[in-house]
Structure 1
Amino acid sequence: MICSSPDDFAKHLHKKRTIYAGIDPTAKSLHAGHLIPLLCLFHFRIRGHNTLALIGGATGLVGDPSGRMMERSLSEKAQIQSNTTKLTESIQQFFSRATEYALDKVPSLTTSAQLQVVNNLDWLKELNLLDFLRSTGIHFRVNHMLARDSVKMRMSANNGITFTEFTYQLLQGYDFYELFRTKGCTIQVGGSDQWGNIISGIDLINKAEGDSAGHNEKGFALTTPLLTTSQGEKFGKSAGNAVWLDEKLTSYLDFYQFFLRTTDADVEKYLKMFTLLPVEEINAVVREHEVQPERRLAQKLLAEEVTQMIHRKEGLEAARVATNVLFGTDYSTLHAKDIVKSLANDPRLVLCTEDQLLGITLPNVAANFGLTTSKSAARQLALGNGLYLNSVPQPDVHFKLERSHLINGQVAILRAGKDKHLILALR
C-alpha cells in the first residue's frame, strides 16, 4: 500500500476520521478486485473510523481512462441507474457479512462506526457547467492533467483520449472535495491505478480550502494493490475474467476454486490482503505450507476464509460439497439435496425426469445430455474405462441406470475422462 505524506498521514489517524472508496457502476455486481479497497475500508471501520462507499453514478457515465489503452463504450443511463441500485445493496451486504465474519473471529470487535453509501450523481447532476468551470476548473492546470499516467498512456495510443475522458480526473477530484466539504472526509482509498485521480482531489481540496499557495495538506491518498492475473492483467468485467461476489454470476464452487488455485508465490500476500486472520497465524500456516506445498494448506485456508466471509458458512459448505463432487473420489458422505444445492446455477447440473434417466444405457444418457459428442463416442469411452458413474468406471456399454444406482435415489454423477462432469438430478 502507498499513501501520500506518510508521516502526516500517521499523525492524522490519531483521531477518528472519515474515509471513502469509490466504485464505478459499470457492472451490476462487485467482483473480487473490489474486495481489496473495500476490506481496507472495513479495517478502518473496525478501528473506529467512519467509512463511505461512493457509487459513481455520474462519473460512470463519463468513463475512467485509467489503465486503459482504448476508450470505454459509454454506458446507458438506465443501465447505470440499475447497476447503482444493485451495487448499493451489494456493498451493504458485503459490510454486513464481513462484520459477521469478523465477529466470528474476534467476538469483542468494535463495529459500531458509521458506514454510508453515497452516489455522486446526487451532487454532480446539480452543477451548473459555467459555475463549475469558474469555481472548480480554475484550480486545475492542463499541464498537470496531461502529466497523469492515465492520460499520457492514452495520448500515446493511436486513438488518443477524448475530452470526456480527459475530464474524468476533474470530476473524481470534485467528488473528494464534496465529501471533504459535506462529510469531513479526509482520506480516499483506491486501487493503485487511481493515484492520479485521488491526487487531483487532494490538490483541489488544498487549493480551495488551504492557504493561498495551496499548501497545508487537508486530504490524503491511500492506494491498494490491484488484483491481477499472472500476466499482470486486471481482473474485472472489461477483461472478461471477473470473479463476481454474486453467487448467481460466479457460483460458490467457482469462487472457492479461484482462491484455491492461488499460486504459492501469491498465497501469503493474499492471506494478508483478503482475510482478517492474525499475521502470526498466517505466518505459521505459510511455514507449514512450505514444508509440504503439495498439500496446499495455505490455499485451502485462503479459499475457506474468503468464501465464508463473502458467502457465509452455508456458501462455504456448498463449495466444499461441489468440490468433492467434481474433484473428489469418495462420495459415501454426499447427500443428494446437498449436491443439488451446492451446484445451483452451475451448468453441469441438469434436472431431468425419470423417463430421461432410468432404464437407459449409460452411454446413451451421456450422449443425450451432451457429456459426449455422440452415442458411439460414449460407447468407445466406456470400453476404454473412461466413462464413470459416481466415480466408478463403467465399461459395460449395455449398463442401464436404475434408481438404486443413484445417490439417495436422486442423483447420478457422470464423468468423461479426467475432468468433464455431468450431474443429473431427478426433478
Structure 2
Amino acid sequence: MLLSYRSSTLICRRRLLPQAHYYSTRLPNVLTDLENRGLIANTTSPDLVSHTDTPTAIYCGVDPTANSLHLGNLLTFMGLFHFHIRGHQTIALVGGATGSIGDPSGRNSERVPLERDVLDKNVAGIEHQVHRFFHHGLLYAQRRQKCLDTTIATPKVLNNYTWFNGMTALDFLGSVGRYARVNSMLAKESVRSRLESTQGISFTEFSYQLLQAYDFWYLYQHHGCRIQLGGSDQWGNITAGIDMIGKRSESAAKAYGITVPLLLTSTGEKFGKSAGNAVWLDKSMTTVFDFYQFFMKTADQDVGKYLAMFTLFDGDEIKRILEQHKVSENPEMRTAQATLASEVTELVHGLDAVHQAKVATKVLFGEDLSNVSGADIVKAFEHDHRRFSAWDQEKVMHTGIDQLATLVKATKSRSEAQKLIKAGGMYLNNVKVTDPRQKLAPTDLIDGSVCLLRVGKSSYHAVHIKPS
C-alpha cells in the first residue's frame, strides 16, 4: 500500500529490507547494507530499496551548536558516506539559520541562543570539517576498493541561512506556515514531551520543525533531493518535510526519510556536546591519540557493532576479525579494538594520523622508543596542549630536570619535582631519573630535538627543543 503524503502522520516501521538489486560488482544496495550494519532505525517507505538502486540525491543536516562535529554526528554521516561511495549525490546541510533557533528534539530545556558571529564561526568550522571528512573518506574507501567504478559525485555542502536570510515573517507564514497543521505539529514527540514538562516550549522552538521541513522542500525543489537522513530523534522533523513536499510540490516524485540509531553510552546516554562526553572530530578539541584510544577502549561486546557501523568491513571480514580476537594468545593486545581504532582514525583524520596515534600510544604506554623519531613525536603531540610544549634550546638545555618539570607544568615547583625524583616517580624518555641534580643534556634528546618527561604513572609531557 502506498503511503499518502497528504497525511499528517507517516507510518513508522522497523523491518528487514527485502532482497536488494545490485548496481555495483562490489557493493550491495545501500539500504540493504545500512540495515545489515545496524545503521537504520526507521524508514518511511519500503520503496526506498528500489529507489536507491539508481543514483539519487540525499541530504543530512547538522546545526552549528559547536565548531566541530562529534562522534554522534559521525554515525549519521556514515550513512551519508555509504551513499557517497555508491555514486549518489550527497548533500551536507549546515544550519546557519536553524542553529540560531535550536532543535527541541531530545532536549528537556531550551538551548541558549548563539550570537551571529559565534554561529558564523561554527558554520565555517563544520563546513571545513565536512569537506575534509569526505576527502579522507573517499581515499579510505578507494584504498579498500570499496567504491563504484563510475564517477563519484562531489558532495554539496550548503548553509540554510542562504535561503532563510531574505525571508520575511510574512513570507514564512505564507509559504511555510500555510501548509502546516497545528494539530500535527502538536503530535510530534519533541513537542509533546516538552508540553508535558514544567518548562514547556517556546513558540520559537515550536516552529523549528517548520524550518527543517522547508529545508527538505527547498532541497527537493532546487537540488533534486529525494531523501532526508537523520538521527532517530529527527523522525518528526523529517516527516514534517515530507508532508510539506507532498502539499507544495507539483512533481510526482516521492520524498523519503531514513533515520539511524542514536549512539548511546553503555548506560544509555546520548553521545554529544550537551551530554558532556563528546568525542570531537576536530583534533584540536579531541586529540588524535584520544580519538584513537576511545575506540581502543571499546568493550568486547560492542566492538563488532562498532566495526559494522564505523568501517567499510563487510560481515565476513568482521566475523574473521572477531574470531582472531577471540583466539588471540595475547588478549591484552585487543586486536579487534586496535583494528577498529586504526580504521576509524584513518577514515576521519587520514592515514598519517593512524601512525601519529600509534606513536603516541607507544610513548604514553612506556614502550621502547628506539624506533621512534623526534619528528614523529612532534607530529603525534603538537595538537595536544596538555602534553606538548616547545622551547628554545637556550632556555632549557643544561637546566635541571626538576626545573624542566616546573617549566612544562608537570609539577608545581622544583621542590615537588625533587621529591618525586627521590621517590622514583620521575622519568626521562621512559628511563627513571635517580639523581635530583641531573641536568638535561644533548644526549637526552631524541634526534636532537625532543625529550619525554613523565611524572608518576601517566602524566606525560613531550618537550620540543628548538634551535635558538
- Relative to the length of structure 1, the TM-score reads 0.92
Residue 78 (str. 1) matches residue 117 (str. 2): yes
Query: How many angstroms does 1:137 deviate by?
Result: 2.0
**Superposition map of 1:319-338 within 5 A:** 319-338=357-376
SS of aligned partner of 2:90: strand
State the SS of the aligned residue for 1:7: coil
Moved more, 279-288 or 350-359: 350-359
Offset from partner CA, 1:186-232 (integer Å, 9 cap, x none)? 21001111111111111222233489xxxx99221111122333333
- Please name the residue that 1:290 is paired with: 326
Could you tell me how far apart the structure 2 residues matched to 1:53 and 1:361 are?
53
Distance across 2 between alignment mates of 1:330 and 1:181? 60
* 1:351-362 aligned within 5 A: 351-362=390-401
8 Å CA contact 1:210–1:218 kept in 2: the answer is no
What displacement does 1:372 show? 2.2
Distance 1:108 1:240, change over 3 A: closer
What amino acid sits opposite 1:188 in the alignment? Q
> Amino acid of the residue matched to residue 270 of structure 2?
K
Residues 3 and 220 of structure 1 are in contact (CA less than 8 Å); yes or no, is this contact kept in structure 2?
Answer: no
Residues 361-408 of structure 1: per-residue CA shift (max 9 Å, x gap) = 323332343212333332232222221111121222222221112222
Please report how far the alpha carbon of residue 238 of structure 1 lies from its aligned counterpart in structure 2 after TM superposition.
3.0
User: Mapping of 1:124-163 within 5 angstroms?
Assistant: 124-163=164-203
Runs of 4+ that moved beyond 6 A: none
Change (3 A) 1:86 1:410: closer
Give the SS at the match of 2:350.
Answer: helix
One-letter identity of the residue aligned with 2:196: S
**CA–CA distance in structure 1, aligned partners of residues 376 and 52 of structure 2:** 47
Shift of 1:82: 3.0
For residues 284-327 of structure 1, the C-alpha deviation after alignment (integer angstroms, 9 at most, x for no partner) is 11122233443211111111111112222212111111111111
2:58 aligned counterpart, secondary structure: strand
From 199, 223, 229, give the equivalent of 2:265.
229
Give the aligned partner of residue 342 of structure 1: 380
Quickly say closer, same or farther: Cα 1:297–1:410, change in 2 above 3 A: same
Deviation at 1:108, TM superposition (A): 6.0
State how far apart, in whole Å, the 1-side matches of 2:182 and 2:73 are.
30
**Structure 2 unaligned spans of 5+:** 1-39
Matches of 2:410 and 2:123, distance apart in 1: 39
- Matched AA of 1:316: V
Partner of 1:8: 47
Q: Pairwise mapping of residues 31-46 of structure 1 onto structure 2 (< 5 A)?
A: 31-46=70-85
Instruction: Provide the rounded CA distance (Å) in 2 between the counterparts of 1:80 and 1:401.
Output: 47
One-letter amino acid of the counterpart of residue 404, structure 1: T
For residues 327 and 188 of structure 2, the distance between their equivalents in structure 1, rounded to whole angstroms, comes to 45
**2:215 matched to 1:175?**
yes
SS at match of 1:388: strand
The change in CA–CA distance for 1:81 and 1:375 in structure 2 (over 3 A counts) is closer
Contact 1:102 1:109 in 2 (8 A): no
Match of 2:279 among 218, 243, 260: 243
CA distance 1:406–1:193, shift in 2 (3 Å): same
Give the TM-score normalised by structure 2: 0.84
Secondary structure of the residue aligned to 1:185 is coil
- How far 1:344 moved relative to its partner? 0.5
Identity among equivalent pairs (%): 45
Deviations, residues 7-54 of structure 1 (Å, cap 9, x unaligned): 222232233221110111222222222222222112112223211111
1:278 aligns with 2:318: no
Q: How far does the alpha carbon of each residue in 1:42-90 deviate from its partner, in whole angstroms, 9 at most, with x for none?
A: 2112223211111112111111111111111111122223322332222
Deviations 1:70-122 (A, max 9, x none): 11111112222332233222212211211111111107634523421222222
Q: Is the 8 A contact 2:189 2:236 kept in 1?
A: yes
Matched AA of 1:100: L
Which one is further off, 77-86 or 16-25? 77-86
CA shift for structure 1 position 338: 1.5
How many residues of Structure 1 are paired with residues of Structure 2 in the alignment?
423
Provide closer, same or farther for how the CA distance between residues 178 and 414 of structure 1 changes in structure 2, counting only shifts above 3 A.
Answer: same
Letter in 2 for 1:275: T
1:123 deviates by 2.0
Take 2:178 and 2:61, find their aligned partners in 1: how far apart are those partners?
A: 24
Q: Does 1:388 align with 2:424?
A: no
Alignment of 1:341-420 (within 5 A): 341-347=379-385, 348-420=387-459
1:203 aligned partner: 243
- Determine the C-alpha separation between the residues in 2 that align with 1:74 and 1:368: 40
Note closer, same or farther for the CA distance 1:223–1:325 as it changes in structure 2 (3 Å cut).
same
The RMSD of aligned alpha carbons is: 2.2
Q: Which amino acid aligns with 1:239?
A: A
Contact (CA 8 Å) 2:72, 2:271: kept in 1 or not?
A: yes
Q: Which amino acid aligns with 1:158?
A: T
For the pair 1:23 / 2:62, whether they are aligned, the reply is yes
CA distance in 1, matches of 2:160, 2:392: 51
Q: Which protein has the bigger helix share?
A: 1
Instruction: Confirm or deny: 8 A CA contact 2:86 2:147 kept in the other structure.
Output: no
